[in-house]
Structure 1
Amino acid sequence: MSTTDTGPDETASEPGARPAPAGERSPWFVLALAVGGGLLVGVLTSYAQGLLPEVLAPLANSSGSWSVAALLLAYPARRRGFAIAAGVLTLFAMVAGYDLASVLRGFHPSLGSSLFWCTAAVVVGPFLGWGAHALRTRSGYVPLAAGAVSGLLVGEGVYGLTVIAATTPAAYWWGSVAAGAALLVWAVVRRFPRFLPASGAVAAAAVVATVFPFVYSIDLLVQFP
């Protein structure tokens, strides 16, 4: 790790990162926007569980949809540290928004479930924020970030088709797999067609898609009674 002071723009520490244009919003505003957006997504998720048509019902119970939303909300952050913070805080805000909306709907949120998802925010949030920053700055890590997002969508689709297919619509999970695969193909063909970055993207997608169903099928909630 270099000890050279790169100034306020942390993108200089990433290979191939492009300098951010002047006149952008304050990073604190971007962080507040991410948290506000996370609260909104959490509230909408709770209400959507009773409103969405059957084929889209898993959207309100999908970690993939929350992950993609957190990545998009962290994307505007120019500095890597703020992007990582946005990834974590956005997921925390989603949990808070979901629990708040559930209380307003007359339900009692599960403390164990909330603690589980807050733990997931700490573990997964930094990677989502880092991935968003890599995509935004088009750094040398873009293939890994794009591959990871693709693998997340494919992996959750595989989990849905193999573990909970009996209780959820298969069409939604096939759609998740198709979206993840389409994202990977588009990224490789249009953004980094060269062999090495394309191989990195495919490898990242394969690893995440393989690990996701295995980890997600473990009843980790028992650790948070």
Structure 2
Amino acid sequence: MSSNVPTRQAAWRTETLFTVVRACLVVLVGASVIGGLTSPAQGFLPDWLRSLANSVGGWSMFTFLLVWLSRARPLLGAILGVVAFEAMLEAYALVSLWRGNFYAEPFQNSFTLPGIAAGLVLGAGAALVRHAMPGWLRAAGVAPLCLVLALEAIYGLTVIASTTSPVYWILEILAGLGFLLATLWRSKQLGIARARPQRDS
């Protein structure tokens, strides 16, 4: 029985060719679609939700969710976080150009470098929430996203309150709280599941 323990502990850090290809497709396709839709969404979303198409928090949530859905492990997750952010930026720029609005040259807009940094952190965090064994690692994984959502919501409710609807910023705060609670609940459920075999033995 003891020979299986290292395998279980290392499983959350390993990848196969299939999991790499699957994760890359999920993130690249999903991010391209989201980034492309952001450009027209800035014009047709209702006022109370329009900030979603203009906020850092919106793309941060999508980056986190895409990497989580891809089931990538932490190392690949960090890389795919960058891929997600940059794919959204480039798809946004391309669709904007098709609509007659030049945004920026490829990989030369003001969000390219911040997107790399944010993508690394959010992607690795999403993978930790999906795969990490210790509960504190999952909490650490979701913390950056919750912090981004909270800080941007505070900024929206104060600095730009006169030009944006407060509804979206309140929803961002609730979303951050939701991500945190979901992660804590998942940690608890996984802890219970791991404890059962020990009690049964």
TM range (shorter): 0.7 to 0.9
Q: Secondary structure at the match of 2:48?
A: helix
Residue in structure 2 matched with residue 43 of structure 1 by the alignment: 36
1:64, 1:113 → 2: CA distance?
20
Give the deviation of 1:122 after TM superposition.
1.3
Equivalent residue for 2:117?
A: 123
Deviations 1:121-144 (A, max 9, x none): 211111111101101103331011
Shift of 1:77: 3.6
Match of 1:147 among 143, 146, 155: 143
Which residue in 2 is equivalent to 1:34? 27
The percent of aligned pairs where both chains have the same amino acid is 31
Do the aligned partners of residues 191 and 77 (structure 1) sit closer, same or farther apart at CA in structure 2, a change above 3 Å counting?
Answer: closer
Per-residue CA deviations over 1:173-217 (Å, capped at 9, x if unaligned) read 1121122234334544x3457xxxxxxxxxxxxxxxxxxxxxxxx
Query: Which of 54, 57, 82 is 2:50 aligned to?
Result: 57
Aligned to 2:63: 70
**How many corresponding residue pairs?**
180
Higher helix share: 2
Is the counterpart of residue 165 in structure 1 residue 161 in structure 2? yes
Unpaired segments ≥5 residues, structure 1: 1-5, 194-225
| Map of 1:214 onto structure 2 | none
Opposite residue 27 of structure 1, the aligned amino acid is V
Output the TM-score relative to the length of structure 2.
0.78
TM-score (norm 1): 0.70
Give 3-state SS (helix, strand or coil) of 2:91's partner. helix
Q: Shift in Å at residue 49 of structure 1?
A: 0.5
Q: Deviations over 1:88-118 (max 9, x none)?
A: 0111100110001101111111459952211
Structure 1 vs Structure 2 CA RMSD? 2.9
Distance 1:146 1:81, change over 3 A: closer
Q: Aligned to 1:108, what secondary structure does the other structure show? A: coil
Q: Is the 8 A contact 2:74 2:125 kept in 1?
A: no
For 2:73, the equivalent position in structure 1 comes to 79
Partner of residue 127 from structure 2, selected from 107, 128, 133: 133
Match of 2:86 in 1: 92
8 Å contact kept, 1:45–1:98: yes
Using a 3 Å threshold, how does the CA distance of structure 1 residues 43 and 160 change in structure 2: closer, same or farther?
same
Range with bigger deviation, 36-45 or 144-153? 144-153
Separation in 2, partners of 1:35, 1:112: 16
The answer for unaligned runs of 5 or more in structure 2 is 1-5, 189-201
Q: Deviations over 1:20-78 (max 9, x none)?
A: 8x999431232133112111111110010011000000010011110111111112243
Q: 79-88 or 179-188: which moved more?
A: 179-188
* Equivalence for 1:217: none
Distance 1:70 1:113, change over 3 A: same
- Tell whether the 8 Å contact from 1:27 to 1:77 is kept in structure 2 after alignment: no
Name the CA distance, whole Å, in 2 between partners of 1:110 and 1:58.
21
CA contact (8 A) 1:31 1:77 kept: no
- With over 3 angstroms needed to count, the CA separation of the structure-2 counterparts of 1:146 and 1:49, relative to structure 1, is same
Q: What SS does structure 1 have at the residue aligned with 2:43? A: coil
